[in-house]
Structure 1
């Protein structure tokens, strides 16, 4: 038997760089030897409870060393890791646990009440809480101290499932995307090639590891190269700035909102950012005001596009092209291909909007337990149908138009909200924006803008319309602008536009 997948990574890191710092968390350093030994003990604990190849092991917890210990301990057995979004409500947690058919669950103690219905519904026999546990809950820490048996070397191929990660649910009930060992290996290789990850890097991890971007394009490529992760339990801009200066952070990943909050923090100007060399941003295009703030400090971004089903990276825009190709999400990653198709599946000319299709070893195996949805997700020749609209310019750079489901049809004209949102993001004091279609008796649908703004600021419909006037066709300009305290978002930062449409449709 031999594990050709992620389960071999810890053994090889223990051999190649045993005393190198793998993690820094809460002031404590963990070497690769210690991380590998802990993963071995996790696999022993799970194996003693009957967990084997193909079984699903769920994990619900904030960023911590235990997250990575359980991940690598699980895949050593050939079992499948199921990270659960910590922001889910009990019914949503129940769905993930039952749908994935998890046989074991490890969770932080603060989530005990939230997981209880799911544990019962899924009939999960083996439940452990991180830490020491209590009279009512078995603790992971004492279980690991009592574990024995050494490293598990299951028979695992790159094509075998490694993880089930649930989609953000912007198109309905979350589906479990099955990612193989090969998917996660190749997306790591894409990052190493396109973001120039090296073993001397120090990467600050501020986004939740249950999110596929933080895992597939953050933690895993850094570990594969034997670099160091500075792991934060959650994101707080002041703490992130302090960690950059304290540890000489070289790499940082985030979404536009996190970068904006850091730039707005009182310590921004005083923080030493001289070690930062690699900034990556996903989720949406970086607004001009954020580009300006970071360029003033000598920093620029790699931007990109992807989704859970592509592990998640599909394209990347190099920092030196940020201005020249502003608004683009770049070119395909090194081991990935992208094409554009019309509604009949035929390829379209450069500059023509169509559905983005993706191919490569980072594209997922399918949706767990949903054979029809899995088949529908691919073309006849095996390309993944993203459900996103976009076009390739003359040089092969990808521009996103929008998701198919979010397209607004007003008086027979197609409106792609992303185009309008990118412009609205540059209005002073606007911190978040979503453009949705609202029913209209005359036009069928008209666009509305839903905004969040800085505390104490105000933005109204007239300001929005004035900002857009002359920049886009008038039929694309929102007929109404509403300021809200918070936009409903998924864990990956995507706005739940379905929630907004449901909220405002009755007003018409």
Structure 2
């Protein structure tokens, strides 16, 4: 059954189109020798479509053949050994992809580092992850004074130029990518990502998100982020042309979508929200797909986005540890804009109650998932053999099998004996026309144990007073969901992937 699913999906997405026999033989030979990790996917793409443009970034265009040649030369010259860990502190660029694949081709483990980390955090990550070297963009040099083994852009170019031959043999031990958790509540941990064992993980994604072989994909999500990294894996497997920008600027990205005739956008929800804040343009992009992941879609955003751009929005719910859990298609989001969708092929999803048994539709419980791409454990710990992972999120299923995420288990508060989910109030307030963005959290309360506090950023020129906010919640939710504290801010604190940093929100006085 899986073989039939894989064959049909690959055919539907243009991966089984005829080609020159010798190129097809080299393509599958590369996968056979190098496997289905990034090193193998780049090599199969270069074998089948060597002259196709692989990457367009802020500085250059590079073909698949050229991208592979540079990555192989870097693998030869890198002063590290198989099994070493090499940090990558880079913004989205062809240079980052060359470094990433060069490291893994050597048999070393690339550690993808969040560009928003402070100098102290970078020093701690380098120590905790036992980095042998750290490849970085020049702009981060000032943060790395206390980190040994750094390789800046000039040094990387020198290594590539100095290589006498390109590495063409697979390492005995394939490199494994380590993705750092988001670190919104403390120091990030390193999660070891598995290498796909075949075509099924790819097909599970492109079955639900209909990306096609050879199309142009703009990956706006950071490549160090689980979703950006997944987008890179998918794009290489599809022999796509990958378009990258070092920084996300909504106006520039919109222009790129139009000028480069982009068919698909890989982004995080805050990026889609910022695109919606642009005035509608006379010439909209001809997007087929806008796939987002990384955080919840703010209330009403899905419908507004599809009203402007068409029914092209796909929302993937997952985590660094689980890869993916469910995918909401445009049809799902039209019918139920807050749904996280359904699990893709090969993924098993359950919602468990306090007795560890599945709960009926409409009942909130703990979300548990199983698939073949669960993480292999955190660095510094023994390799895990997970069959399932509990995400720490609470949610429920509807009678059609669609998942809804009600909030983090540790975000739920008990106010006066009542369970309250801040996310439910966030969605309600985000739908107000005056509100640009909102965060709702629990804070201590002397009388009720905990209460809600709402933090709002208004759209330019708009006004809203705290009592109007409370009254809006009072009309639509129970009294214990009404936030006593309503705080207006210029902006919400976010990390480099757009997640709100709740710990940096100003806390109201207890009372």
TM-score (norm 2): 0.88
Pair 1:416 & 2:426 matched: no
Q: 1:199 to 1:246 in 2, by over 3 A?
A: same
CA shift digits 1:221-264 (9 cap, x unpaired)? 01111011111111111111111111111101223332232232
CA distance in 1 between partners of 2:503 and 2:284 (Å): 42
Following superposition of structure 1 onto structure 2, how do residues 18-417 of structure 1 map, counting pairs within 5 Å? 18-26=50-58, 28-46=60-78, 49=79, 51-119=80-148, 124=149, 127-130=150-153, 132=154, 139-155=155-171, 162-182=176-196, 187-216=201-230, 218-266=231-279, 268-273=280-285, 275-282=286-293, 283-288=295-300, 291-311=303-323, 313-371=324-382, 382-417=387-422
Q: 1:9 aligns with which of 18, 41, 44?
A: 41
Secondary structure in structure 2 of the residue aligned to 1:457 = coil
Q: 1:497 aligns with which of 499, 502, 506?
A: 502
CA distance in 2 between partners of 1:338 and 1:416 (Å): 22
How many pairs does the alignment contain?
A: 478
CA distance in 1 between partners of 2:366 and 2:186 (Å): 20
CA distance in 1 between partners of 2:260 and 2:97 (Å): 21
Q: Which residue of 2 aligns with 1:135?
A: none
Secondary structure in structure 1 of the residue aligned to 2:133 = strand
Q: 1:476 to 1:259 in 2, by over 3 A?
A: same
Residue 287 of structure 2 contacts residue 312 of structure 2 at CA under 8 Å; is this kept in 1?
A: no
CA shift digits 1:71-127 (9 cap, x unpaired)? 1111112211111111110111112211111111111112112022232xxxx4xx3
Residue 299 of structure 2 contacts residue 426 of structure 2 at CA under 8 Å; is this kept in 1?
A: no
CA distance in 1 between partners of 2:441 and 2:291 (Å): 28
Residue 104 of structure 2 contacts residue 175 of structure 2 at CA under 8 Å; is this kept in 1?
A: no
Residue 363 of structure 2 contacts residue 396 of structure 2 at CA under 8 Å; is this kept in 1?
A: yes
Residue 10 of structure 1 contacts residue 32 of structure 1 at CA under 8 Å; is this kept in 2?
A: yes
Secondary structure in structure 2 of the residue aligned to 1:481 = strand
Secondary structure in structure 1 of the residue aligned to 2:147 = helix
CA distance in 1 between partners of 2:333 and 2:272 (Å): 16
CA distance in 1 between partners of 2:509 and 2:485 (Å): 15
Choose 282-291 or 345-354, whichever is displaced more. Answer: 282-291
Residue 22 of structure 1 contacts residue 32 of structure 1 at CA under 8 Å; is this kept in 2?
A: yes
CA distance in 2 between partners of 1:308 and 1:316 (Å): 15
Pair 1:446 & 2:451 matched: yes
Q: CA deviation at 1:28?
A: 2.6
Residue 129 of structure 2 contacts residue 190 of structure 2 at CA under 8 Å; is this kept in 1?
A: yes
Q: CA deviation at 1:290?
A: 5.4
Secondary structure in structure 2 of the residue aligned to 1:406 = coil
CA distance in 1 between partners of 2:203 and 2:247 (Å): 26
CA shift digits 1:60-79 (9 cap, x unpaired)? 12111111001111111221
Residue 474 of structure 2 contacts residue 482 of structure 2 at CA under 8 Å; is this kept in 1?
A: yes
CA shift digits 1:267-326 (9 cap, x unpaired)? x322332x2110112211243255225413434411121111123x22100111212122
Secondary structure in structure 2 of the residue aligned to 1:257 = helix
CA shift digits 1:121-179 (9 cap, x unpaired)? xxx4xx3111x3xxxxxx2112211113323433467xx66211111123433111111
Q: CA RMSD for the aligned pairs?
A: 2.2
> For structure 2, which runs of at least 5 residues remain unmatched after alignment?
1-31
CA distance in 2 between partners of 1:92 and 1:57 (Å): 16
Secondary structure in structure 1 of the residue aligned to 2:406 = strand
CA distance in 2 between partners of 1:54 and 1:185 (Å): 26
Residue 350 of structure 1 contacts residue 391 of structure 1 at CA under 8 Å; is this kept in 2?
A: yes
